[in-house]
Chains A and B, each alone.
Chain A
Amino acid sequence: MNSRLKQILSVSNSASVLSSLMAIVVGLAAGFLVLLVSNPSQALGAFGTILSGGLSDRKNMGQVLYTATPILMTGLSVGFASRTGLFNIGASGQFIAGAYCAVLVGVKCTFLPGPLLCLAALIAAFIAGAIWGSVPGILKAYRNVNEVISCIMMNYIGTYLVNFLIVRTVFDSLKNQSTRVADNANMPKLGLDLLFREGNNVSSANSGILLAIIMAVAIYIILEKTQFGFELKACGFNKDAARYAGVSEKRSVILSMVIAGAMAGLGGALLYLAGSGKGIDVLDVLPVEGFNGIPVALLALNNPIGVIFAALFIAYLNVGGFSMQLFNFPPQVIEIIISIIIYFSAFALVLKGVIMSIHGRGAVK
């Protein structure tokens, strides 16, 4: 019996992996087509660069890790919420709220010694994201407000509020962005920057990626191993049945959004505490990392462990795309290519259905 169970599990699991891989292949093919249309002579070389750019040297490998960190966290946020039946399109707002609080602590709380400052900044981001996520959760639980609408509103409120607060508190008017955080507010490098370098050119790799992976594993354990996750998933699948079974669906909805928000908030901290010198730009644009979490989660079929790989893959494409500028493609085309690949990658779920039905039909015959 037990071996049969494993066999069944593996059918479904391998279908998941296979469908994600197929989605990627389809996406790459479509991206190549666009390259061909926009500049046939350079297409092949450019396409090769996208595919190999992330691995071309060790610095780029480090950049992949650095780029993957924030979208891993937002992907985790979106994926976790989806598993509990909520569409968290508010990762952008939670992300920027977390980012701002981390930067604020990193700049202002320099009285904290050593790594304590970094820890305080991370905790601040975690809480800020959680609060930002809790608002749509509470509205959904008590007033049945669609979380998509309230999340979008919270995105704009978050972005503009952070712009306003940066100018008031931690503004670097020369660069039109937030001031740099104190050195000990940054995530420890743990030698990753030196491991991933090209000559004297170090990458921005840091321990943030490790923390992100730990978070993904933690979310996986919560969802798959605990009573709490059992209740959250039951609410996500069928909230009437959950209520019938004595689960408080209000509590589940709120906590689920709180956790999702905290993950996105932490993602904001990890981007701006990476020690790459990046500050929060005062722009009237929602942070893209929040939205990029959606394709990451889709490509991973909302599996927290899958999110790790999906984030690395999309970061890899971004780094590869960056190298593509050598081929005289305008940056917009590069963005389009990456978007197309991501867009098709999101077909993973559709393809999984196709694979399962083909397999199912085969079994019947």
Chain B
Amino acid sequence: MDDYIIEMRGITKKFPGIIANDEINLQLKRGEIHALLGENGAGKSTLMSVLFGLYQPEAGEILKNGKTVRISGPNDATRLGIGMVHQHFKLVHNFTVLENIILGVETVKNGLLSMAGARNQVMDISRKYGLDINPDAYIQDITVGMQQKTEILKMLYRENEILIFDEPTAVLTPQEIDDLMKIMRGLAAEGKSILFITHKLNEIKAVADRCTVLRKGKYIGMVDVAPTTKEELSEMMVGRKVSLNVDKPEREPGKTVLDVKGLIVKNKATGKNSVDDVTFQVREGEIVCVAGIDGNGQSDLIYALTGLIRLDAGSALIGGTDITNASVRKRGLAGMAHIPEDRHKHGLVLDYPLAYNLVLQRYFEPKFQHGGFLRYNEIYSYSKTLIDRFDIRSGQGVNTIARSMSGGNQQKVIIAREIDRAPKLLIAVQPTRGLDVGAIEYIHSQLIAERGKGTGILLVSLELDEVLSVSDRILVIYEGQLVAELNPNEVSYQEIGLYMSGSKRRAAG
């Protein structure tokens, strides 16, 4: 028993109406990489918050080196050597890397900061673990990967021995992910114990020694990673068999539905072109995927196409209709549907009931209004058919306030609404973001079905798995330019990664 550096026994944490953690066990060995696997809402974050002292559990105990400890706040956790790299980094942007690392544990001589000692120490640690950084660079100027290294150094500088990584790969390129995996293995070899929170099976297979699986707040089991297949892991996580491969029939694309020429969007703040002379087409029955690292102009490209911002140059046609300067409503009527990136900001009126959200793009049609008065009977019966057809689960049917629904069901509302408009062109921006495996499977199958009906689909995704499995053509965007057009059947992860990070480019067609 004594080889567990941290053991959590029978942890139960309840919130009003929900048991977030129901007798969860977790045993972390010294020097191992232990994955914590589960869908969204499985209770991973709650469990880590308990370990970090942010929540007090109703039952259960935490042992460090076999001795019961009480963790009543983050300070206790730090004292026990527990450190965490959060999904969203906690860094001061206009401080340097070094300043961020020592922030809170500054060495002071006669009331003045003494940086020299700290600098040597940081550089020693960085050499020891292969975390090359420039200590004098400002956070705002360095890549996300470098920021993550800064976060890791922060933990190491505080001499933490238990390191928690919360979904660390979500923001990284494939190369950076490889790098991180190497670093994690190095840390484990040096005797650090790592808890690795994720829902990506590839990464668990690549780096973890053992894996604890949670589902809906319950402890499902703990397995050794090496002898376990990805399919077995996903079945433990979801509770049923899931097909990890997208089943996509061959299909010849038809006529052009979206024709974009020389599109330019200027960023008002920086004066640079956030979308820089982009030209491409989407044809009937094909899924064109815009791949790239977040912040390379995808959002502005989509906003300009959907009419949420003005474009500064270029043109766009939908099925031959010029929509370059058309209003959002006209674009919709021309056959464009849009599954937006941010379902809370754009996709839903969260305080509106489900029925209103389902007609949000159609309430003005004669079917749903007469002389300016809404036809509620029509709206409700239409909503009910959509709810049945798309299997949208909600507490109070058509009257459920959208805010109270789960993320997956909220996304289903948007997908039902947009697909049922029978669009010529469907623009889907990160349609599976933050969703669990079951919901992702469902959304992919819906996209494929739309493709089968001859809809042209423009998909923007940051997930390479999704890009490779769903799309017919890949356009890689880097700093606002399309730097490559690739065939998903002929390209590897690593190659796309090189294009995405700008180290390689090939003229797009």
Listed in ascending order, the chain A residues whose CB lies under 8 Å from chain B are 1, 4-5, 8-9, 225-228, 230, 233-234, 237-238, 240-248, 360-361, 364
Q: Find out whether the CB atom of B345 lies under 8 angstroms from the CB atom of A240.
A: yes
Please, which residues of chain B bring their CB within 8 A of the CB of A242?
349
Q: Does B75 contact A (CB under 8 A)?
A: no
Can you give 22 A-B contacts (C-beta < 8 A)?
A1-B397, A5-B396, A5-B397, A225-B373, A227-B363, A227-B369, A227-B373, A228-B372, A237-B349, A237-B352, A241-B347, A243-B328, A244-B328, A244-B340, A245-B361, A246-B361, A247-B329, A248-B327, A360-B16, A360-B17, A364-B16, A364-B17
Nearest CB in chain B: distance from A231 CB, A:
8
Q: Does B499 contact A (CB under 8 A)?
A: no
Please, which residues of chain B bring their CB within 8 A of the CB of A225?
373-374
Q: How far is the CA of A272 from the CA of B360 in the complex (A)?
A: 43
Q: How far is the CA of A225 from the CA of B371 in the complex (A)?
A: 11
Q: Find out whether the CB atom of B338 lies under 8 angstroms from the CB atom of A244.
A: yes
Nearest CB in chain A: distance from B340 CB, A:
6
Please, which residues of chain B bring their CB within 8 A of the CB of A1?
397
Q: Find out whether the CB atom of B332 lies under 8 angstroms from the CB atom of A246.
A: yes
Q: Does B229 contact A (CB under 8 A)?
A: no
Q: Find out whether the CB atom of B360 lies under 8 angstroms from the CB atom of A241.
A: yes
Q: How far is the CA of A244 from the CA of B328 in the complex (A)?
A: 7
Which of chain B's residues 363-381 have a Cβ closer than 8 Å to chain A?
Answer: 363-364, 369, 372-374
Please, which residues of chain A bring their CB within 8 A of the CB of B17?
360-361, 364
Which of chain B's residues 331-346 have a Cβ closer than 8 Å to chain A?
Answer: 331-332, 338, 340, 345-346
Please, which residues of chain B bring their CB within 8 A of the CB of A248?
327
Q: Find out whether the CB atom of B372 lies under 8 angstroms from the CB atom of A227.
A: yes
Q: How far is the CA of A333 from the CA of B190 in the complex (A)?
A: 76
Nearest A residue (CB) for B380: A5
A5-B399, A243-B308 known; 11 new pairs, CB 8 Å cut-off, are A5-B397, A9-B399, A226-B372, A227-B372, A234-B352, A238-B349, A241-B345, A244-B340, A245-B361, A361-B17, A364-B17
Q: Find out whether the CB atom of B399 lies under 8 angstroms from the CB atom of A234.
A: no
Listed in ascending order, the chain B residues whose CB lies under 8 Å from chain A are 16-17, 306, 308, 327-329, 331-332, 338, 340, 345-352, 356, 360-361, 363-364, 369, 372-374, 396-399
Nearest 7 Cβ contacts at the A-B interface: A246-B329, A364-B17, A244-B346, A246-B328, A237-B351, A245-B360, A227-B369
Please, which residues of chain A bring their CB within 8 A of the CB of B364?
227
Please, which residues of chain A bring their CB within 8 A of the CB of B374?
225-227, 230
Nearest CB in chain B: distance from A228 CB, A:
6
Please, which residues of chain B bring their CB within 8 A of the CB of A360?
16-17
Nearest CB in chain B: distance from A364 CB, A:
4
Kindly identify which residue among A9, A230, A243 contacts B356, using a CB–CB cutoff of 8 Å. Answer: A230
Q: How far is the CA of A1 from the CA of B396 in the complex (A)?
A: 9
Nearest CB in chain B: distance from A14 CB, A:
16
Q: How far is the CA of A192 from the CA of B328 in the complex (A)?
A: 52
Q: Which of B349, B351, B360 has the most CB of A within 10 A?
A: B349
Q: How far is the CA of A4 from the CA of B399 in the complex (A)?
A: 10
Q: Find out whether the CB atom of A238 lies under 8 angstroms from the CB atom of B16.
A: no
Q: How far is the CA of A247 from the CA of B397 in the complex (A)?
A: 26
Nearest CB in chain B: distance from A246 CB, A:
3
Please, which residues of chain B bring their CB within 8 A of the CB of A361?
16-17
Please, which residues of chain A bring their CB within 8 A of the CB of B340?
244
Please, which residues of chain A bring their CB within 8 A of the CB of B398?
5
Nearest B residue (CB) for A7: B396
Q: How far is the CA of A17 from the CA of B34 in the complex (A)?
A: 54
Please, which residues of chain A bring their CB within 8 A of the CB of B338?
244
Q: How far is the CA of A248 from the CA of B307 in the complex (A)?
A: 12
Q: Find out whether the CB atom of B329 lies under 8 angstroms from the CB atom of A244.
A: no
